[in-house]
């Protein structure tokens, strides 16, 4: 991939080279993208997947925005 470099004026120096966009535009072409329910077998596996992803709320060592370590 060839990077786009732009020349900009800087307050402390005369000109500076700035790196432009570094991504390729497009959409994913995989038709099974985001279909996580079909990949997991049982209901327990699905719940474990969700709890792992949301460990900020479900974890024992974390405290979500509505939970407090020491009650007010």
Query: Lowest-confidence range among 8-12, 28-32, 52-56, 63-67?
Result: 63-67
- What is the spatial distance between Cα 62 and Cα 69, in angstroms, rounded to a whole number? 9
Q: What is the pLDDT of residues 28-41, one digit of tens each?
A: 777 777 787 888 88
- Between 22 and 55, whose confidence is greater? 22
Place 44 in a pLDDT band, splitting at 50, 70 and 90: very high
Pinpoint the alpha helices (H) of 7-54.
43-53
> What's the pLDDT score for residue 69?
64
Residue count (the chain): 72
* Angle at 58 (CA atoms; ends 54, 60), nearest 5 degrees: 130
- What is the spatial distance between Cα 17 and Cα 29, in angstroms, rounded to a whole number? 34
């Amino acid at each position: 991939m060839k990077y786009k470099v732009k020349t900009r004026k800087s307050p402390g120096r005369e000109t500076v080279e700035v790196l432009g966009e570094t991504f390729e535009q497009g959409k994913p072409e995989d038709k099974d993208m985001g279909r996580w329910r079909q990949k997991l077998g049982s209901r327990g596996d699905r719940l474990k997947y969700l709890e792992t992803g949301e460990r900020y709320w479900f974890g024992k060592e974390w405290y979500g925005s509505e939970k407090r370590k020491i009650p007010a």
